[in-house]
Amino acid sequence: MTVRRIMGVETEYGISVPGDPVANPMFLSGQVVSVYAAAHGIRSNQASWDYAFEDPLQDARGWHLDRSEADASQLTDIEDPSLANVVLPNGARYYVDHAHPEYSSPECTVPRDVLVWDRAGDAIALESVRLLASRPGQAPVNLYKNNTDGKGQSYGTHENYLMPRRTPFPDIVVHLTPFFVTRQVVCGAGRVGIGVDSRTPGYQISQRADFFETEVGLETTLKRPIINTRDEPHAVADQYRRLHVIIGDANQLDVASVLKLGTTSLVLGMIETGHLHDDWSIRRPVSALHAVSHDPTLRTTVELVDGRRMTALDVQWMYHDAARAWLDSRSDDPVPQATEEVMTLWEDVLTRLGRDVFSCASDVDWVAKLQLLEGYRSRDGLAWDDHRLAAIDIQWADVRPEKGLVHRLRDRGRLRDLVPPERVRAAQRTPPEDTRAWFRGTCVSRFGPAVVSASWDSVVFEVPGRTSLQRVPILEPERGTRAQVGRLLEESRDVTHLLDGLAAPPVS
């Protein structure tokens, strides 16, 4: 009954070369990843991704999509040796996905830790840009932490949550759909333009909402569903399910990031324990998702299947109150700090959004961006179809602190930060200590030349004197922690010593 669970975030960064609209994004993305890997001693043939046990076509509804029927974008288990794809010393994956550089954070157990390692990814993206810029004759490459180019293309920020497999998937669909339709009011990233190609002037709450077309499905880049059904646990398959969430925005404000992850984890906890009994299903949820996003005043109502009409804030309050009752039902058990933090922030943000949207400008991305844009509109008399506002929207997301507008607000103390910069810097180099990411990342940093490849659930070594590669499986995400293997990793002279130590029986 807490927010604690294995979770993480994947971020695809927008990429461009100023003045060169026809630059090859796949080639550039490869350069972005490769230059960072080389600078940190990771060779192209070392610490690459292991695809051996990936299966992106397994559907949580109980079937397997035939490869002949899958869109090419769904075949994420095919290795392309021409594309950069490495495991970093902090346990993260850094690679090229759909012509974008993507950073997949290491597994964490609480929302604030995901925030730390997600922001470490932003710092890694920034370092990559600066390393490329230092190359003589290299055209400048810009990266953006956003989800659309404003011209009809969208790229994802995905969340992952480990759940018990015993939880019926239909329950997940019923109870998560209304939550996801309305969650955007606390964690939307904001966007200039309405519609997938921004053809209609205006401002909306979510970067991603307009790109969703269906309620439930396996796809991630076409016919995007509110509930994604990919069933690829990266863990003990008969015990765990990994809920792959594709509907979120790329957040840069700390409070919104923690709320996105923390509130979702709480709702999943209520689903897992059967606490949510009422059906809060929304009629025509895809249309409701769009309608909520298109109204920054938060007055738009959605119709529930029971006939009630509610605002997105009303629906979020129902989930909040249910979570509070769920936590209070175990009054003999003190609520952990990480859980109480999420509950306090959730109540605070919902309350302030209901009173005055702009009072959340320090905490919620779409509000902070809207306040900035309204300042330009007021000063220069700009209409929402003015191209300068679209340019400001893009500049907001620039990873470079001297260019990105969100960084300027942070430097001026206009945003509420929850993690200190030194912790983010440390997370660029070191993995979380309380998940298997510790083993994966530390092996890359300590025994890099011997690490042939790795994935979320294993590390593959080349060991001197052994004719075959040695795979160390880590199917339990909370194994391989610093507490469990830290001493062995520190004392191992080489990879042979490490593997011998792992194979030795535990000392009683």
Q: What is the pLDDT of residues 302-315, one digit of tens each?
A: 999 999 999 999 99
Residue 468 — pLDDT band, cuts 50, 70, 90? Answer: very high
**pTM, to two decimals:** 0.95
pLDDT winner (highest mean) among 64-68, 470-474, 504-508 = 470-474
pLDDT tens digits for range 387-396: 999 999 999 9
487, pLDDT greater than 50: yes
How many angstroms separate the CA atoms of 96 and 36, rounded? 13
The proportion of the chain whose per-residue pLDDT surpasses 90, expressed as a percent, equals 83
DSSP 276-327: --S---BSSHHHHHHHHHT-TTS--EEEBTTS-EEEHHHHHHHHHHHHHHHH
DSSP 3-state of 239: coil
332, pLDDT greater than 80: no
454, pLDDT greater than 50: yes
pLDDT tens digits for range 396-422: 999 999 999 999 999 999 999 999 999
How many angstroms separate the CA atoms of 216 and 228, rounded? 6
Pairing of strands 14-16, 142-144: antiparallel
Neighbours of 154 (CB within 10 A): 18
Label residues 361-393 b or e (16+ Cβ within 10 Å = b): bbbbbbbbbbbbbeeebeeeebebebeebbebb
The proportion of the chain whose per-residue pLDDT surpasses 70, expressed as a percent, equals 95
Are 60 and 216 in contact by the 8 Å Cβ rule? The answer is no
Residue 137 — pLDDT band, cuts 50, 70, 90? Answer: confident
81, pLDDT greater than 70: no
Tell me whether residue 97 is one of the annotated catalytic residues.
Answer: yes
How many angstroms separate the CA atoms of 457 and 392, rounded? 41
Tell me what pLDDT residue 268 has: 98
251, pLDDT greater than 50: yes
Q: What is the mean pLDDT of the chain?
A: 93
Q: What is the mean pLDDT of residues 189-204?
A: 97
248, pLDDT greater than 80: yes
- Dig out the tokens for 221 from the structure: 């880049």
Tell me what pLDDT residue 54 has: 75
Alpha helices in 447-494 (DSSP H): 482-491
Residue 47 — pLDDT band, cuts 50, 70, 90? Answer: low
How many angstroms separate the CA atoms of 91 and 454, rounded? 10
Tell me what pLDDT residue 331 has: 67
Pick 415 or 465 by higher pLDDT.
415
Q: What is the mean pLDDT of residues 283-302?
A: 98
pLDDT tens digits for range 347-362: 999 999 999 999 999 9
- The one-letter code for the residue type at 66 is D
Tell me what pLDDT residue 401 has: 96
Tell me what pLDDT residue 508 has: 47
Q: Of residues 20, 55, 71, 97, which has the active-site annotation?
A: 97
